[in-house]
C-alpha cells in the first residue's frame, strides 16, 4: 500500500469528507419530526410555536460511535398583512474527536395556494468543523505490507474551520397532505484537511487537501388517512440525494387518539426501523430502533421529544376585575 493511499484511508475512517466521501447528511429515523432541519420552508408552517430535539446514537465496529443531535425551534408571524415564519436550527455531530456543528437561522414566506399554504424558505448559518486528533497511533503490527518502523505513528490534524452554509426549500402544506423539496449546502462550503506526519511521510508533510460539503437534495411527502375518528394511517416518503448516492425511506405510521403512535420504515439500503411514541401533557416522545444490514454501522437508537404551544401563551392574560358599580 502506498503511503499516500494509506493517509487517505485514515482520513476516510474518521469521516473527513473528500471527493470520495460518504453522504454528508446521514438520515434520521424521525425525519418527519425534523422537517425544518432538512427543509427551511417548513419553519413556521404551523400556526403554533414548535420545538423539537432528536438524538441519534449509532453502534459501529469502532470505538467512539457516531452521535448526532438536532434541535429546531420555529414559529409563524404576520407582517404587512402577509404570513411569514422564522426558525432556528442547531446541529451537532460527534465521531470520536471529530466535532461538526451548525447554527443557522431560517426565514419562510407563506402564501395561500388552493386549500393549503405555499412556503418558500431560506436558511443561512455557520458550520463549525473541528478535529483534534491528539496522539492517534497507527502501528505497523496492525498493518500488512507497511514500511513503517517500530514505534512510528501517523498523526492527523485538521485545523478548526468555520464556513458559511446556505440552504433553501419550497413546500406545500394542507390539512392532510404535505410535500416539500429542498437543497442543503447550496453554496457547497469549502474547507481544507491537512496532515502533520513529520519525517515519516515526507510526501505529505505539507499537503493540504481541499474538500467541500456537497449539495444534498431532499424530497418529502406525507398524507393522513382517517380510518376512524381516533385512528389515522400516515404514509410518508423521504428521498435524500447527493453526488454520491440516493437513499429512500418509506414509512407507514399509525396514530391513535392523537396520543399513541407507531410504525415501520423501510430504507433503500436494506435497513429497516421500528418506532413508537406517545404524548404526555403536551410533550410528544418517541423512540426508534434501526437495524443496518450494510456498512460498518450495526444498529441505531434514536430518541426525540417535541413540544408545541400557541403564540397566545406569551400574551399577557387579562386579570378579572369587578365593576365598582356592582360593589
Residue 211: which pLDDT band, with cuts at 50, 70 and 90?
A: confident
C-alpha closest to that of 215 among 236, 187, 178:
187
May I ask the CATH architecture of the domain 3-310? Beta Barrel (2.40)
CA dist., res. 167 & res. 155, Å (int):
34
Query: Stretch 243-267: mean pLDDT, rounded?
Result: 92
* Segment among 161-175, 185-199, 258-272 with least mean pLDDT: 185-199
CA dist., res. 253 & res. 81, Å (int):
37
Each domain of the chain, given as residue ranges in start order, spans 3-310
Of 20 and 126, the structure prediction assigns the larger pLDDT to: 126
Q: What percent of the chain has pLDDT over 90?
A: 49
- The pLDDT value given to residue 242: 87
Find cell 471527493 and name the residue: 19
Q: DSSP label at 15? A: T
**What's CA 107's distance to the chain center, in Å?**
18
Residue 318: which pLDDT band, with cuts at 50, 70 and 90?
A: low
- The pLDDT value given to residue 309: 86
Alpha helix segments (H runs only) across 131-248: none
CA dist., res. 163 & res. 14, Å (int):
20
C-alpha closest to that of 161 among 185, 127, 186:
127
Find cell 443561512 and name the residue: 124
* Segment among 45-54, 135-144, 252-261 with least mean pLDDT: 135-144
What does the mean pLDDT of the chain come to?
79
Amino acid at each position: 500500500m502506498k503511503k499516500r493511499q494509506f493517509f487517505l484511508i485514515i482520513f476516510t475512517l474518521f469521516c473527513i469528507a473528500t471527493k470520495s466521501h460518504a453522504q454528508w447528511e446521514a438520515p434520521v429515523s424521525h425525519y418527519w419530526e425534523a422537517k425544518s432541519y432538512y427543509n427551511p420552508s417548513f419553519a413556521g408552517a404551523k400556526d403554533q410555536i414548535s420545538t423539537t430535539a432528536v438524538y441519534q446514537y449509532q453502534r459501529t465496529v469502532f470505538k467512539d460511535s457516531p452521535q448526532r443531535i438536532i434541535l429546531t425551534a420555529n414559529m409563524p408571524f404576520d407582517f404587512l398583512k402577509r404570513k411569514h415564519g422564522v426558525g432556528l436550527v442547531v446541529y451537532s455531530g460527534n465521531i470520536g474527536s471529530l466535532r461538526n456543528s451548525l447554527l443557522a437561522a431560517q426565514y419562510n414566506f407563506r402564501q395561500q395556494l388552493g386549500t393549503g399554504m405555499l412556503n418558500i424558505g431560506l436558511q443561512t448559518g455557520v458550520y463549525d468543523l473541528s478535529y483534534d486528533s491528539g496522539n492517534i497511533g497507527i502501528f505497523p503490527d496492525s498493518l500488512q505490507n507497511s514500511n513503517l518502523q517500530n514505534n512510528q505513528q501517523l498523526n492527523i490534524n485538521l485545523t478548526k474551520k468555520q464556513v458559511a452554509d446556505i440552504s433553501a426549500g419550497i413546500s406545500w402544506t394542507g390539512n392532510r397532505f404535505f410535500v416539500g423539496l429542498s437543497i442543503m449546502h447550496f453554496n457547497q462550503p469549502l474547507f481544507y484537511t491537512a496532515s502533520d506526519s513529520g519525517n515519516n511521510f515526507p510526501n505529505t508533510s505539507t499537503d493540504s487537501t481541499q474538500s467541500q460539503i456537497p449539495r444534498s437534495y431532499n424530497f418529502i411527502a406525507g398524507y393522513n388517512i382517517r380510518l376512524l375518528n381516533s385512528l389515522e394511517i400516515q404514509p410518508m416518503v423521504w428521498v435524500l440525494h447527493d453526488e454520491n448516492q440516493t437513499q429512500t425511506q418509506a414509512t407507514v405510521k399509525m396514530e391513535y387518539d392523537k396520543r399513541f403512535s407507531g410504525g415501520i420504515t423501510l430504507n433503500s439500503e436494506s435497513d429497516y426501523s421500528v418506532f413508537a411514541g406517545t404524548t404526555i401533557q403536551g410533550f410528544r416522545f418517541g423512540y426508534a430502533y434501526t437495524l443496518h444490514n450494510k456498512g460498518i454501522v450495526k444498529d441505531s437508537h434514536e430518541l426525540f421529544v417535541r413540544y408545541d404551544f400557541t403564540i397566545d401563551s406569551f400574551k399577557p392574560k387579562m386579570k378579572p376585575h369587578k365593576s365598582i358599580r356592582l360593589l
